[in-house]
C-alpha cells in the first residue's frame, strides 16, 4: 500500500516548515522542540473527568505520574499504566496527554501516565527501573485513587511499547503479578536495527536511522547494552508466561519488522497475541489524531482489546 495521504501531508508540512531534525539538536533542545511539536497535531480540548499529578517514591528518586479519571467517573476502574514514547530521551506526560485522555474516556479506564527518567541525564537501565517501580506502586496504591489493583494493564508507544514489554518481562522475573494485558504500539524490540524495514525505511518517514542512532547514543551507556533484554526484549531467552498482547505497527516505520518479530515470538512461545499492521502509516501516527484519522482507529482497536482482556481477567 502507498503512503496514506494524511500521513504524507504530515511529512510534507514538516519539510515545508523546514523543521530541523531532532538529531541535529542537543538533547535539551530536542526535549523542548518535541514538547512543542507534540501539541500541534494531536486532538485538542479533550474533556476528562479528573487529572491528578503526583510524585511517587522510586528507587533513585521521585517518579512523576499523572492519573486520568474518565468523564464518566466510576470506582474500582480497570487501570492502564501508560509509558510514553520518545526514544528514551524525549517526551513526557504532557506530550501524550491527549492520547491518555482518549484512552481513559473511550475505555472507562483509570490511566496512569509515567514520567520515567530518561537519557542522557539518567541512562539505561533507569527507564525500565522506574517503569517497573511505577507498576509496583500502582498494584499497591491505585485502589486509593479509584482503580482496581487486580485489573492492571501496561501500554505504550515506541520507546513506551518497548518499556511495556520490558515491564511485563521484569514482573515475570520478579514473581510479581503480571499485567492483565500489554498494548504495544510500534514497539522497539531489538536495538541492533538490522531488519529489512530498518534498511528500506532508513530515511524520509520521520523516524530515521540517524535519529534512532542519536536516541541510542543518549540512552545506552555502551553498545553492549543492546544485547540486554531490558533494552531489547526480543533478545530475552524466553517470552513464555507473558500477558496477552496487541502489537500494532506502521507500514512506513523502520520498527515494523522487529514489532512483527516480537508478536511472532510471543505467539510461538504460547502467549495470546493479536498483530495489526497499519500499512499506510508512519511512526508516531497514534499521537497525531488531529491530522490522521487512522490514529483513532488504532486507539479504538487498543481500547477494545483492553476491555476484552479485563473482562477475561475477571473470569
Residues with catalytic function: 158, 253, 283
Beta bridge partners of 59: 61
Calculate the alpha carbon distances from 123 to 64, 172, 197, 234 in Å: 17, 23, 27, 20
List CB contacts of 201: < 8 A, sequence separation 6 or more.
252, 253, 254, 256
Contact 195, 243 (CB under 8 A): no
Name the one residue in this structure whose C-alpha cell is 505467539: 267
Coil, strand or helix: which one is 118? coil
Beta bridge partners of 68: 51, 111
- Of residues 98, 77, 210, the one with CA closest to residue 157: 98
**Do the strands 61-69 and 50-58 form a parallel or antiparallel pair, or are they unpaired?**
antiparallel
Name the one residue in this structure whose C-alpha cell is 485502589: 143
Beta bridge partners of 153: 80
Cell of 64: 512523576
Q: Is the peptide bond before 11 cis (omega within 30 degrees of 0)?
A: no
Name the one residue in this structure whose C-alpha cell is 514497539: 187
> Given phi > 0 = left and psi -120 to 50 = alpha, else beta, which region is 16?
alpha
d(CA 230, CA 221): 13
Amino acid at each position: 500500500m502507498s503512503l496514506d495521504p494524511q500521513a504524507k501531508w504530515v511529512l510534507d508540512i514538516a519539510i515545508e516548515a523546514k523543521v530541523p531534525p531532532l538529531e541535529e539538536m542537543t538533547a535539551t533542545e530536542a526535549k523542548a522542540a518535541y514538547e512543542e511539536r507534540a501539541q500541534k497535531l494531536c486532538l485538542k480540548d479533550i474533556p476528562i473527568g479528573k487529572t491528578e499529578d503526583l510524585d511517587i517514591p522510586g528507587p533513585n528518586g521521585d517518579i512523576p505520574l499523572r492519573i486520568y479519571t474518565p468523564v464518566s467517573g466510576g470506582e474500582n476502574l480497570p487501570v492502564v499504566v501508560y509509558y510514553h514514547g520518545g526514544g528514551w530521551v524525549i517526551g513526557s506526560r504532557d506530550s501524550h496527554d491527549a492520547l491518555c485522555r482518549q484512552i481513559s474516556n473511550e475505555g472507562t479506564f483509570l490511566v496512569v501516565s509515567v514520567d520515567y527518567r530518561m537519557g542522557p541525564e539518567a541512562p539505561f537501565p533507569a527507564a525500565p527501573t522506574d517503569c517497573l517501580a511505577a507498576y509496583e506502586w500502582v498494584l499497591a496504591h491505585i485502589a486509593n485513587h479509584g482503580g482496581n489493583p487486580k485489573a492492571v494493564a501496561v501500554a505504550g508507544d515506541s520507546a513506551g511499547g518497548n518499556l511495556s514489554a520490558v515491564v511485563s518481562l521484569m514482573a515475570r522475573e520478579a514473581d510479581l503479578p503480571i499485567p492483565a494485558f500489554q498494548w504495544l504500539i510500534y514497539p522497539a524490540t531489538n536495538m541492533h536495527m538490522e531488519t529489512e524495514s530498518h534498511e528500506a525505511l532508513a530515511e524520509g518517514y520521520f523516524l530515521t536511522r540517524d535519529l534512532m542512532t542519536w536516541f541510542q547514543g543518549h540512552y545506552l551507556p555502551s553498545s553492549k547494552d543492546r544485547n540486554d533484554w531490558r533494552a531489547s526484549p526480543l533478545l530475552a531467552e524466553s517470552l513464555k508466561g507473558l500477558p496477552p498482547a496487541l502489537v500494532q505497527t506502521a507500514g512506513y516505520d523502520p520498527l515494523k519488522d522487529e514489532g512483527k518479530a516480537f508478536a511472532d515470538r510471543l505467539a510461538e512461545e504460547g502467549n495470546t497475541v493479536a498483530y495489526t499492521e497499519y500499512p499506510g502509516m508512519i511512526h508516531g501516527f497514534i499521537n497525531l489524531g488531529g491530522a490522521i484519522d487512522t490514529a483513532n482507529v488504532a486507539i479504538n482497536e487498543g481500547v477494545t482489546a483492553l476491555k476484552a482482556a479485563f473482562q477475561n481477567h475477571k473470569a
